[in-house]
Amino acid sequence: MTVRETAQEIDGVAADWVARLDRGALSPQEDQALEDWLNGDPRRLGAFARARAVSLSSERAKALGAQFCPDDFMTPEADAERGVPETPERRSDSPRRYDPPRRYDPMSGKKIVPRAGVSRRRFVWGGALAAGFGGLAITGLGLPSYGKEYVTHLGEVKVVPMADGSVISLNTDSRIRVLYTRNQREVHLEKGEVLFEVAPDASRPFVVKALGTDVFAIGTSFTVRKLGEVGVQVLVREGLVKINRHNQDSRAVEVGANRRAIVQAGDAPPTPVARVETYPVARDLAWREGRIAFEGESLSSAAAEFRRYSDTRILIEDPDVASETITGLFQSNDPVGFARAVAASFDLRAEVSEKQVRLYR
Amino acid sequence: MVRVSDERALWLSRQVLPHEPALRNWLGRRRIAGLEIDDIVQETYARLITLEAVSGIGNVRNYLFQTAYSVLMTHVRRSRIVSFQTVSDLDQLGARAPDCSPEEQVMDRDELQRLAEAIAGLPGKIREVFILRRVNGLSQRDVAERLRLSESTVEKHMSRSIYLLMNLISHGGNGESRASRAWGSKAHKGLNRSDSKRNRSGD
């Protein structure tokens, strides 16, 4: 099975085309390029049509009027993300760094910084809080010096858009602390696996730290996964990252797109900083859409992978069954559905009990 | 743009998009291993865009669900992994689309509010660009001039905002409670009378 372009990737290109059309008419060459792209996969036309529909639908925003102030509509989650204080005592004179609430002058489009003491209109609505932006919910408040904490529980995936335009996606059972300062954007990976889509900003490097390993983004998108306490795995989707250990810049390695680097925490010089190899990165990113992709993996390693997302265990005692291989895309939070589908296609039995599915012949 | 006419795109945005979260919910409950909801949705839109005419479609919601169901069945029959049991389960569920829930209808009036929230949630510069372009109605060129950005940067920010709004609709469709609250989940009241009767056969 070749790695299929994901729906998300298609959506990304579709959005590019719609934004291009929003700018003005296409040249004949561009028109041809769009046509060629659309012909490449039946889903693309659908994504493109949908992107145009979403774009058109957003034109209703005009009804919000020139006086529209987005901060009046910030949900508390989004506020927290931007570092806007929650309580009245933490005003603009607080030592904590935050972006002041933004208002826009309708004529110049420039931000207007409100005078201290001007109270903001606040919307508090029970159930709607859960909606936030893209269903985003942020756990943990974090302390200023310590950074802001983001956590996902077992089987949960969370997408966090940052104020600088970067997007951070947390896979199952993960924890990070984010510390943006004037000179650096720093993320500490304490547990799990996280995808970083980094907005370029030459004046503020973006670095991910885990187990004494520093991963520097150079205009890029990559994941960092902590392999327990023994190592760190880095998958590079786009661009380039630089990895070093314990600030030894002279020994840093650079890792390019579609490659995987494994850093062993125990390794000391003169072993290389990381083992780097070519790797099907796109397939490993299925988790962003709540999926797990397999391509010829054994059932036992598939079962282990599902264990990362759910506390329901897939138990395979028969070694012959365990070594059967599987290919396909599955819902990561549904080990039982996976086991049943496997049972059906390998002619096995699936015995479902609480927190366990047993597969046997 | 020959392939997607403005008229059809408008039809999608007015008549189809509002039902997408409900469609995703419905597809999500089918729980078929190895099938991506996003793929089904994209192919469904592709079928809707290639229709000769849409004026004859009386109940867009039902038509949308039926189209998605037929895309789904095509995949299920082609797929190696899905058992025949799943296929017969699907057949029993039938192509009947669930009707609008009262909850979804209530959401109608909050739609603009939700759009405003979605805009508020856009990150940094992207939000600034989007507001000038969509709320204040400046051209991309004028936005670029005003913010002292290149036109291509403005275009990139617009692309990102459209992508994020698309995602908001998709991710909003993951859970029932979220779906009904996310922007885009507005149900067209009065689109057809039977929508007001709650009758879900799929559950």
Radius of gyration of chain A (CA): 23
Nearest to B133 by CA among B114, B123, B118, B119: B119
Chain A residues with CB-CB distance to B50 below 8 A = 45
Could you tell me the two tokens for B29? 């409950």
Q: Does B110 or B171 have the greater pLDDT score?
A: B171
DSSP letter at B14? I
Chain B residues with CB-CB distance to A74 below 8 A = 117, 120-121
Tell me the pLDDT of chain A averaged across its residues. Answer: 76
pTM as predicted: 0.44
Confidence of residue A202 (pLDDT cuts 50, 70, 90): confident
Structure ipTM over 0.85, yes or no: no
Give CA–CA dist A267/A351, Å, rounded.
43
Domain boundary among B39, B67, B98: B98
Question: What pLDDT is attached to residue A182?
Answer: 85
The percentage of residues in chain B with a pLDDT greater than 70, rounded to a whole number, is: 63
Q: Which of B17, B36, B127 is nearest residue A7 as measured by Cβ atoms?
A: B36
Cβ atoms of A256 and A278 within 8 Å: the answer is: no
Give A261→chain B minimum CA distance, Å: 28
Confidence of residue A270 (pLDDT cuts 50, 70, 90): low
Q: Does B158 or A89 have the greater pLDDT score?
A: B158
B120 in a structural domain: yes
Backbone angles phi, psi at A338, to 5 degrees: -60, -50
- B132 and B56 belong to one structural domain: no
Q: How many domains does chain B have?
A: 2
Length of chain A: 361
Confidence of residue B193 (pLDDT cuts 50, 70, 90): very low
Chain A residues with CB-CB distance to B39 below 8 A = 7, 43
Q: Does B46 or A155 have the greater pLDDT score?
A: B46
One CATH from 3.40.50.620, 3.40.1210.10, 3.30.9.10, 3.55.50.30 for A290-360 = 3.55.50.30
- B176 and B115 belong to one structural domain: yes
Per-residue pLDDT reduced to its tens digit, A107-148: 444 444 433 332 232 222 222 222 222 222 233 333 334 678
pLDDT at B203 over 50: no
Single-letter residue type at A248:
Q
Q: Residue A20: is it exposed, middle or buried by C-beta count within 10 angstroms (0-12/13-18/19+)?
A: buried
Three-state secondary structure call for residue A250:
helix
Domain span at residue B16 reads: 1-98
One CATH from 1.10.3130.10, 3.90.45.10, 2.60.120.1440, 2.160.10.10 for A138-283 = 2.60.120.1440
Domain boundary among B66, B98, B130: B98
Q: Does B129 touch chain A (CB under 8 A)?
A: no
DSSP letters for B33-53: TT--HHHHHHHHHHHHHT-S-
Q: Does B163 touch chain A (CB under 8 A)?
A: yes
Q: Which of B46, B84, B136 is nearest residue A66 as measured by Cβ atoms?
A: B136
Domain boundary among B73, B98, B123: B98
- B13 and B45 belong to one structural domain: yes
Q: Does A344 touch chain B (CB under 8 A)?
A: yes
pLDDT at B140 over 90: yes
Cβ atoms of A239 and A217 within 8 Å: the answer is: yes
Interface contacts A/B by beta carbons within 8 Å:
273
DSSP letter at B201? -
Question: What pLDDT is attached to residue B31?
Answer: 59
Question: Residues of B numbered 35-64 whose beta carbons fall under 8 angstroms of chain A's beta carbons: which are they?
Answer: 35-36, 38-39, 41-50
- Around Cβ A109, how many Cβ atoms within 10 Å? 18
Q: Residue A344: is it exposed, middle or buried by C-beta count within 10 angstroms (0-12/13-18/19+)?
A: middle
